[in-house]
Amino acid sequence: MSPVDHKHKRGGGGAADDLPPEIDIEDEAAEEIVESSGAATDATDVAFTAIDWTPHAGDADGMVGAEVIQTLVKRLPNAPGVYRMMNAAGDVLYVGKARSLKKRVTNYAQGRFHTSRIGRMVRETSTMEFVVTRTEIEALLLEANLIKRLRPRFNVLMRDDKSFPYILLTGDHVSPGIYKHRGARSRKGDYFGPFASAGAVGRTINSLQRAFLLRSCTDSFYENRTRPCLLFQIKRCAGPCTGEISHGDYARLVAEAKDFLSGRSQKVKTEISAAMQQASENLDFERAAIYRDRLAALSHVQSHQGINPQTVDEADVFAIHQEGGQVCIQVFFFRTGQNWGNRAYFPKADPALEAAEVLGSFLAQFYDDKPTPRTILLSHAVEDQELLAEALSTRAGRKVTISVPQRGEKKDLTDNALQNAREALGRRLAETSTQGRLLAGFADTFGLKKPPVRIEVYDNSHIMGTNAVGAMVVAGPEGFVKNQYRKFNIRSTEITPGDDFGMMREVMQRRFSRLLKEHGDAPPGGQAAVDDTGLSEPGDDIEDTGSFPAWPDVILIDGGQGQMTAVRQILADLGIEDRVVAIGIAKGQDRDAGRERFFVRGKAPFSLPVRDPVLYFVQRLRDEVHRFAIGSHRARRKKEMVKSPLDEISGIGPGRKRALLMHFGTAKAVSRAAIEDLVKVDGISEQVAKMVYNHFHEG
């Protein structure tokens, strides 16, 4: 990437027209934004001029809204760039790009707005920051990167930006392997995809192993084999590790797999079919059966790909549907003439925005960190469609076309994607409606002012106090929010093994101490605690920012009165007892589901009718935290079970540990070895040998 030229204009103590001339300084923040952006590549050779000017006292002191924008706009150039609107707290409200910064920002300063959303955004603005770029393409790419990084509340936001899985055929080994890959393409080899899900990759790899008998073991496992593994026995691998197949014959299998994944599937099937026919004519029926099974496996792969277009070789298909104030964007991936699956996205967007505007903003963010196909098919024409195509072409280093097909097979593909978008959004609206009714019933049952937005559920898991783990799951209006789940490895040595109260105290202390440190006190007027009469305390509702809150409205504790006493003591010590509603769930008589007892401050313990929907809802929350806690405990226990005494020796890494175990056989034998024996191991110096010996011989 070429050097970045940063020029700043900063306000002094006078009026806006008395600003000092431009001075060259380094802007590390802007440079970090550019370098982390997928937009700034060798192909684009992007150079930015950053203008970060915040009005000082005497310029726009105390101004907000259109007034502060009018002050800022005086010195803006008629050049393309990106602007950020921020409130008094420094939070970014909106990120936008413009062909002319001066003209675009002037529109905000005039005080006439097309929608209430823009008017509200302008009224909250207390300052703006600007980045001037050489071209509008650079502005578009930087805008998408900033939106993904800063997540401004007034922009269209992708809710799910996970990377896609690929199939990797390695190219750095004499016997290439086939693997599922996600993330940076740091390993040499051929990558095929993207696939819509990891499950789709796994199913495809399983079928490809049956068809091409490629290995999927690690390189270290391959090097240490002395006889074929189980995959060879069940005809999923050709066994190159032990010479069951020559390197030349295995290379031909790899070449066939590449041809199939590259779209030349008919050629591969024809060759295998011819080989099967030849083996049959030679009365080699065993080999003919192998070819028959390979053909069946290839047919299985293609049958699981659904639509396989004849005229579309490489394309992504996007369709958008709006309903009930929500948006669904369905994406289908076609590579090498094969359908590699689809995924539904539900971006956060203002209901007043048109479908084309939402889809255009989504596309720029979607391809910010993903490879771009040669063709992008859309259900709706988007604003700046030609500019977006040019920007993606610049990034990809080849031509990328964006079109809205009107007829033919491409139109059928977009229509199919649109139908899937309608159905996915319909299911989501139904689920959200059901969840909304459950949350409203939950609020009525437990005396809350309003339906909770964030519910946190806690539980512990251990066996006789060993490998103790605390778990937290989170639920909201759209169901479980799994990226908010947390686990707590119990650290305190003062807790008696098996003391559930002590474990819960530690979990609460760590969770809410960190929450106070990172997000400050609980928002006032949120879900206030219930008073002694069981009635909710008055307070103003929290303003809905459209983002998921960090503070819980309610915490559910899997436990009875004893657990609740421990929890309330911690909350009281932290001064937030009246800011968070804590509810205990105790198993009823005989631990039967449906007979749970609930403990809420200010109310006597009570139970709910057996068929109450709210009871089912709470049981589902409790079952989820049970599942997560037990899974976390099992993972920790498994890790402890395979832990080696050699792991505790400082300076003994995986390589030296492997060498010691290969030489002595067991860690116990290593512990008994003399220094003279230890130095005979490859990679173990006398100094390291003494360190290992001293670890096991304290005297």
Could you give the 3-state DSSP secondary structure of residue 185?
A: coil
CATH number for 667: 1.10.150.20
Q: Based on the domain organization, do 681 and 587 belong to the same domain?
A: no
For the chain, what percent of residues have pLDDT higher than 70? 81
**298 in any annotated domain:** yes
Q: What is the pLDDT of residue 317?
A: 93
Q: What is the pLDDT of residue 463?
A: 74
**338 in any annotated domain:** no
User: Measured on CA atoms in the order 537, 539, 544, 549, is the torsion positive or negative?
Assistant: negative
- Measure the CA–CA gap between 368 and 54, rounded to whole angstroms: 29
Q: What is the pLDDT of residue 111?
A: 65
pLDDT tens, position by position, 247-262: 888 998 898 888 877 7
Q: Based on the domain organization, do 17 and 122 belong to the same domain?
A: yes
**525 in any annotated domain:** yes
CATH number for 554: 3.30.420.340
pLDDT tens, position by position, 200-229: 788 778 878 887 889 999 888 888 888 888
Q: What is the pLDDT of residue 113?
A: 62
Could you give the 3-state DSSP secondary structure of residue 236?
A: coil
- Measure the CA–CA gap between 212 and 209, rounded to whole angstroms: 5
- Measure the CA–CA gap between 487 and 511, rounded to whole angstroms: 10
Q: Based on the domain organization, do 469 and 612 belong to the same domain?
A: yes
Cα–Cα–Cα angle for 400, 401, 404, nearest 5°? Answer: 150
Q: Based on the domain organization, do 86 and 199 belong to the same domain?
A: no
- Measure the CA–CA gap between 552 and 563, rounded to whole angstroms: 19
Q: Based on the domain organization, do 42 and 145 belong to the same domain?
A: yes
Q: Based on the domain organization, do 280 and 367 belong to the same domain?
A: no
CATH number for 120: 3.40.1440.10
Q: What is the pLDDT of residue 13?
A: 35
Domains of the chain: total: 5
Q: What is the pLDDT of residue 594?
A: 64
Q: Which residue type does 305 have?
A: Q
Q: What is the pLDDT of residue 51?
A: 46
- 239: which residues sit within 8 A by CB, 6+ positions away? 228, 232, 245
For residue 601, give both structure tokens. Answer: 């401050």
pLDDT tens, position by position, 372-388: 888 999 999 988 889 99
Q: Based on the domain organization, do 659 and 519 belong to the same domain?
A: no
Respond yes or no on whether the N-terminal peptide bond of residue 194 is cis (omega within 30° of 0).
yes
- Residue 635: band (very low, low, confident or very high) from pLDDT cuts 50, 70, 90: confident
- 490: which residues sit within 8 A by CB, 6+ positions away? 460, 462, 468, 469, 470, 503, 506, 507
Cα torsion through 60, 61, 65, 70, rounded to 10: -10
CA–CA distance from 27 to each of 34, 36, 52, 77, 277 (Å)? Answer: 11, 14, 9, 19, 69
Q: What is the pLDDT of residue 91?
A: 87
For the ranges 22-26, 127-131, 203-207, 585-589, the lowest mean pLDDT is seen at 22-26
For the ranges 140-149, 328-337, 534-543, 579-588, the lowest mean pLDDT is seen at 534-543
Q: Based on the domain organization, do 146 and 186 belong to the same domain?
A: no
* pLDDT top residue among 111 and 389: 389
The answer to whether residues 44 and 3 touch, using CB atoms and an 8 Å cutoff, is no
Q: Based on the domain organization, do 196 and 226 belong to the same domain?
A: yes
Q: Based on the domain organization, do 377 and 350 belong to the same domain?
A: yes
DSSP assigned state of 256? H
For the ranges 5-19, 150-164, 467-481, 545-559, the lowest mean pLDDT is seen at 5-19
Closest CA to 95 of 123, 63, 121: 121
CA–CA distance from 124 to each of 57, 127, 148, 495 (Å)? Answer: 19, 9, 21, 49
DSSP assigned state of 75? T
**634 in any annotated domain:** yes
pLDDT tens, position by position, 660-696: 888 888 878 888 888 888 888 888 888 888 888 888 8
Q: Which of 392, 427, 462 is the last residue of a domain?
A: 427
pLDDT tens, position by position, 433-480: 888 889 999 999 998 889 999 999 998 887 766 778 889 999 998 888
Give backbone dihedrals phi and psi of 189, rounded to 5 degrees, phi first: 155, -170
Q: Based on the domain organization, do 509 and 615 belong to the same domain?
A: yes
**Whether pLDDT at 12 is above 80:** no
**86 in any annotated domain:** yes
Would you say the pTM of this structure is higher than 0.75? no
Q: Which of 126, 150, 174 is the last residue of a domain?
A: 150
* pLDDT top residue among 547 and 354: 354
Q: Which domain holds residue 665?
A: 645-696
For the ranges 123-127, 310-314, 626-630, the lowest mean pLDDT is seen at 310-314
**356 in any annotated domain:** yes
* pLDDT top residue among 619 and 48: 619
Looking at the chain, how many residues does it have? 699
The pLDDT of 110-114, averaged and rounded, is: 67
Q: Based on the domain organization, do 190 and 118 belong to the same domain?
A: no
**238 in any annotated domain:** yes
Q: Which of 364, 397, 427 is the last residue of a domain?
A: 427
* pLDDT top residue among 548 and 597: 597
The answer to whether residues 659 and 682 touch, using CB atoms and an 8 Å cutoff, is yes
Give backbone dihedrals phi and psi of 435, rounded to 5 degrees, phi first: -65, -40
Q: What is the pLDDT of residue 52?
A: 45
**438 in any annotated domain:** no
- Residue 605: band (very low, low, confident or very high) from pLDDT cuts 50, 70, 90: confident
Q: What is the pLDDT of residue 321?
A: 93
**Whether pLDDT at 544 is above 80:** no
Instruction: Please state whether beta strands 7-8 and 48-51 pair in parallel, antiparallel, or not at all (unpaired).
Output: unpaired
* pLDDT top residue among 311 and 580: 580
The answer to whether residues 22 and 9 touch, using CB atoms and an 8 Å cutoff, is yes
**Whether pLDDT at 28 is above 70:** no
* pLDDT top residue among 40 and 618: 618
CATH number for 410: 3.30.420
For residue 429, give both structure tokens. Answer: 């609206």
- Residue 552: band (very low, low, confident or very high) from pLDDT cuts 50, 70, 90: very high
Q: Which residue type does 539 have?
A: G
